[in-house]
Amino acid sequence: MQSDIKKVLYSEEQIKKRVGELAQEIKKDYEGKDLLTIGILRGAVMFYADLVRELDRPLHMNFMALSSYGISSSSSGAVRIQYDLEEDISNKHVLIVEDIVDTGLTLSYLTKTLNSRNPKTLKTCCLFDKPARRKVDFRPDYIGFQVPDVFIVGYGLDFAEKYRNLKYIGELMPEVYK
């Protein structure tokens, strides 16, 4: 697995430090408010688990799973909910936790969908932002790192379902995905 990695972009320590900083920011913004966090399966699993523990305050946790259709239809913004919430989010402070925003199609679709369910507030927290790949205008409320347009894996992010369990974020060797 390690031999497929060209270089380490963010070490375990760098990620931990940034997740802690994001948690401080979020804690301050939601002080005195009930908070429902929603982790997006599967890529956000590691980030979500670490972030909520750093938040160290009362909150509710839930999950959703989304997938985009094939290449042709994903450019039209077609995203499918594979696993939806069963709870009512109306009148709740909701924070979506994602690993990465790339084209922006997933989060743009998800925020529109959840906003139609009338939450009190809806914000997004992404560990990685790849603005160079954006197809729709979308900016998360909380961003961990802005990343260059290279193929990154690890800490939840995969290529062909591999590398999710790396403790760091690595740049994948081009020969692996080309």
Which 58-117 positions form the footprint of ligand PRP (CB under 6 A)? 66-68, 98-106
Which 3-22 positions form the footprint of ligand PRP (CB under 6 A)? none
Give the three-state DSSP class for 125: strand
Q: Kindly state whether residue 129 participates in binding ligand PRP, applying the rule CB under 6 A.
A: no
The residue (of 56 and 81) whose beta carbon lies closer to ligand PRP is 81
Phi and psi dihedrals of 78, rounded to 5?
A: -80, 110
Nearest approach, Cβ of 102 to ligand PRP (angstroms)? Answer: 3
Catalytic residue among 50, 99, 102, 129: 102
Q: Taking Cα atoms as reference points, which of 54, 43, 58, 61 lies closest to residue 21?
A: 54
Q: Kindly state whether residue 40 participates in binding ligand PRP, applying the rule CB under 6 A.
A: yes
- Rounded distance, CA 113 to CA 133, Å? 22
Residue 99 annotated to the active site: no
The residue (of 39 and 119) whose beta carbon lies closer to ligand PRP is 39
Strand order in the sheet with 152-153: 5-10, 169-172, 152-153
Name the residue type at position 54. Answer: E
> What is the binding site for ligand PRP (CB under 6 A)?
40, 42-43, 66-68, 98-106, 158
